[in-house]
Structure 1
Amino acid sequence: MKVCSHKGVQVAVLTRNEHCPPHVHAGTPAWDARFEFSFWHNGVRLWDVSPAQNEPNAAVLEALRQVLKQSQVLHRARTLWWRSRGTLCLERQHWDAVAEEAVSPQLRRFGTVPIQSARFDPLANKTVLHLTGQPYPLEIEL
């Protein structure tokens, strides 16, 4: 599903055989870049490019990353991911309230709380986390 395009490069959330973490594909017939995004912060990072021998220059990849960081584009990517995948990829993760981030339980940080469930509210543009032992959900405005 198309998220946007930038200078002829299509950016999309694919709907078949996709997996966590949340990401979009951007590219041309010669190369495909994956950019990872989150449902608890507004950062976007380049994940990988394949095939490596056809990788575009760093300026092209950074321009795409900056486009993806735009609030309306990132919101569309999140909405399409949530609607097609039905997950925020936060299952079996823990919430670190001090650092305000999701972390793997293998990191064994003191004071983290298991995430029981997570959902994205596209209309309010927020993530809702249900944490173990907490009476009220944690709402993260994006």
Structure 2
Amino acid sequence: MKVCRYKGLSVVIMLRDEHCPPHVHVDAGTWSARFKFCFWHNGVELWDVVPLSRRPPLAVLEGLRQSLMQPAHLQRARGIWWRKIQTVCLDNQLWDGQINEVVLVKGIAGATYMIGSACYEPEANKTLLFLKGAQEGVEIEL
């Protein structure tokens, strides 16, 4: 499903056999790229380009990344992912409430909780985290 376009290239989310982390695809014919996005911050990251030998200029990849980072495009990508894939890919990850981010390794911090489940509200553009063992969940306005 199309998210946006950049200089004639379509940025899409595949709806069949998709997997975490949330990402979009760009197929330029001689090369293809994937960009990761998430449901807890507004950053977008280049994931990979294949084949590497046909990699386009960095300006093209950066333009694609910046285009996806536009609030309307990122909200559309999240909405498509949530409605069709039905996950925000955060279940069973660790949330550190002191720094308000997903962490890879649990340190000794009283505010670190396992994310039991998470959901996205497309209309409000926010993510809700349900934390195991915490009295309250976390609401992330994106």
- TM-score between the two structures when normalised by the length of structure 1: 0.94
Question: In the alignment, is residue 110 of structure 1 matched against residue 69 of structure 2?
Answer: no
- 1:84-99 matches, cutoff 5 A: 84-99=84-99
Instruction: State the 1:45 CA deviation.
Output: 0.6
Instruction: State the 1:133 CA deviation.
Output: 2.0
Instruction: State the 1:137 CA deviation.
Output: 2.1
Amino acid at match of 2:119: R
Aligned to 2:9: 9
Distance in structure 1 (CA, Å) of the matches to 2:22 and 2:103: 15
Distance in structure 2 (CA, Å) of the matches to 1:77 and 1:119: 15
* Contact 2:92/2:114 (<8 A) preserved: yes
For structure 2, the 5+ residue unaligned runs are none
Percent identical: 52
Question: In the alignment, is residue 119 of structure 1 matched against residue 116 of structure 2?
Answer: no
* Contact 2:113/2:134 (<8 A) preserved: no
Aligned to 2:83: 83
Distance in structure 2 (CA, Å) of the matches to 1:125 and 1:47: 23
- 1:13-92 matches, cutoff 5 A: 13-92=13-92
Question: In the alignment, is residue 132 of structure 1 matched against residue 132 of structure 2?
Answer: yes
Distance in structure 1 (CA, Å) of the matches to 2:94 and 2:106: 9
RMSD over aligned CA atoms reads 1.0
Structure 1 stretch 81-90 or stretch 95-104: which is displaced more? 95-104
For structure 1, the 5+ residue unaligned runs are none
The aligned length equals: 140
